[in-house]
Amino acid sequence: MSAERTFFNEMLDQSGQPRPAYSKLNDWLESKPPNFLTRKSREAETIFRRLGITFAVYGSDEATERLIPFDPIPRILSASEWRKLSTGIDQRVRALNAFLHDIYHRQEIIRAGRIPADLVLQNEAFLPEMVGFTPARKVYAHIIGTDLVRVAENEFYVLEDNTRTPSGVSYMMENRETMMRMFPELFQIHRVAPVEHYPEALRQTLESVGPDPAKSEQTVVVLTPGIYNSAYFEHAFLADSMGVELVEGRDLFVDEGKVFMRTTRDPQQVDVIYRRIDDAFLDPLSFQPDSMLGVPGLFDAYRAGNVTICNAPGTGIADDKAIYAYVPDIIEFYTGQKPILNNVPTWNCAREEDLAYVLDNLADIVVKEVHGSGGYGMLIGPTASKRQIAEFRKILTANPGNYIAQPTLALSACPTHVATGVAPRHVDLRPFVLIGDQVRITPGGLTRVALKKGSLVVNSSQGGGTKDTWVLED
Q: In the prediction, which pLDDT does 373 show? A: 62
Q: Do 375 and 259 reside in the same domain of the chain? A: no
Q: Do 351 and 473 reside in the same domain of the chain? A: no
* Residue 57 pLDDT exceeds 90: no
Q: Do 294 and 322 reside in the same domain of the chain? A: no
Q: Do 357 and 446 reside in the same domain of the chain? A: no
How far is CA 85 from each of CA 3, 51, 81, 156, 422, rounded to the nearest angstrom? Answer: 28, 32, 6, 8, 27
Residue among 228, 229, 267, 230 nearest 245 (CA) = 267
In tens, the pLDDT along 7-33 reads: 999 999 999 999 999 999 999 999 999
Q: In the prediction, which pLDDT does 56 show? A: 57
Binned at pLDDT 50, 70 and 90, residue 4 comes out as very low
Give the pLDDT mean for 451-474.
Answer: 88
Binned at pLDDT 50, 70 and 90, residue 66 comes out as confident
Distance of CA 266 to the CA centre of its chain: 37
Give the span between the Cα atoms of 74 and 25, in whole angstroms: 9
Q: Do 79 and 135 reside in the same domain of the chain? A: yes
Evaluate whether 331 touches 95 at the Cβ level (below 8 Å): yes
How far is CA 249 from each of CA 86, 165, 288, rounded to the nearest angstrom? Answer: 35, 16, 14
Q: Do 269 and 393 reside in the same domain of the chain? A: no
Q: Is residue 150 part of a domain?
A: yes
Q: In the prediction, which pLDDT does 374 show? A: 56
Q: Which residue has the higher pLDDT, 377 or 18?
A: 18
Q: Is residue 229 part of a domain?
A: yes
Q: DSSP secondary structure string, 321-384? A: HHHHTTHHHHHHHHHSS--SSEEPP-EETTSHHHHHHHHHTGGGEEEEETT--TT-S-EEGGGS
In tens, the pLDDT along 334-361 reads: 999 999 999 999 999 989 999 999 999 9
Q: Is residue 133 part of a domain?
A: yes
How far is CA 186 from each of CA 39, 65, 181, 183, rounded to the nearest angstrom? Answer: 17, 32, 10, 6
Give the pLDDT mean for 377-396.
Answer: 92
Cα torsion through 225, 229, 231, 237, rounded to 10: 60
Q: Which residue has the higher pLDDT, 84 or 2?
A: 84
**SS3 of residue 261 by DSSP:** strand
Give the span between the Cα atoms of 295 and 286, in whole angstroms: 10
In tens, the pLDDT along 242-266 reads: 999 999 999 999 999 999 999 999 9
How far is CA 402 from each of CA 51, 284, 321, 394, 398, rounded to the nearest angstrom? Answer: 39, 27, 9, 13, 9
Give the pLDDT mean for 230-243.
Answer: 95
Q: In the prediction, which pLDDT does 142 show? A: 98
* Domain span at 267: 212-306
Q: Do 474 and 441 reside in the same domain of the chain? A: yes
Q: What is the CATH number of the domain that holds 395?
A: 3.30.1490.270
User: Picking from 66-70, 322-326, 398-402, 466-470, which range would have the lowest pLDDT averaged per residue?
Assistant: 66-70
Q: Mean pLDDT, the chain, as a whole number? A: 93
Q: Is residue 197 part of a domain?
A: no
Asked if residue 311 has a cis previous peptide bond (ω within 30° of 0), the answer is yes
Q: Is residue 21 part of a domain?
A: no
Cα torsion through 455, 460, 465, 471, rounded to 10: 100
Q: What is the CATH number of the domain that holds 249?
A: 3.40.50.11290
Out of 380, 408, 436, pick the residue that ends a domain: 408
Q: Is residue 5 part of a domain?
A: no
In tens, the pLDDT along 430-450 reads: 999 999 999 999 999 999 999
Q: In the prediction, which pLDDT does 2 show? A: 36
Q: Do 171 and 47 reside in the same domain of the chain? A: yes
Q: Is residue 4 part of a domain?
A: no
Give me the percent of the chain exceeding a pLDDT of 90.
85
Q: How many domains does the chain have?
A: 3
Listed in order, strand segments (DSSP E) in 6-142 are 54-56, 65-67, 70-77
Q: In the prediction, which pLDDT does 51 show? A: 82
Angle of CA points 208, 213, 219, to nearest 5°: 65
Evaluate whether 237 touches 244 at the Cβ level (below 8 Å): no
Please state the φ and ψ torsions of residue 264, each to the nearest 5 degrees: -70, -15
Give the pLDDT mean for 218-241.
Answer: 95
Distance of CA 347 to the CA centre of its chain: 22
In tens, the pLDDT along 187-200 reads: 999 999 999 999 99
Q: In the prediction, which pLDDT does 140 show? A: 98
Q: Do 434 and 404 reside in the same domain of the chain? A: no
Amino acid at 214: A
**SS3 of residue 151 by DSSP:** strand
Name the DSSP class of 150.
Answer: E
**SS3 of residue 209 by DSSP:** coil
Give the pLDDT mean for 73-95.
Answer: 98
Q: Determine if the pTM surpasses 0.85.
A: yes
Evaluate whether 81 touches 155 at the Cβ level (below 8 Å): no
Q: Is residue 1 part of a domain?
A: no
Q: Do 323 and 450 reside in the same domain of the chain? A: yes
Give the span between the Cα atoms of 329 and 324, in whole angstroms: 10
Give the span between the Cα atoms of 175 and 167, in whole angstroms: 14
Q: Do 436 and 291 reside in the same domain of the chain? A: no
Q: Do 391 and 439 reside in the same domain of the chain? A: no
Q: Is 224 left (phi over 0), alpha (psi -120 to 50) or beta?
A: beta
Q: In the prediction, which pLDDT does 181 show? A: 96
User: Picking from 58-67, 125-134, 344-353, 454-463, which range would have the lowest pLDDT averaged per residue?
Assistant: 58-67
Amino acid at 452: K
Q: In the prediction, which pLDDT does 52 show? A: 77
Give the span between the Cα atoms of 27 and 20, in whole angstroms: 12
In tens, the pLDDT along 103-127 reads: 999 999 999 999 999 999 999 999 9
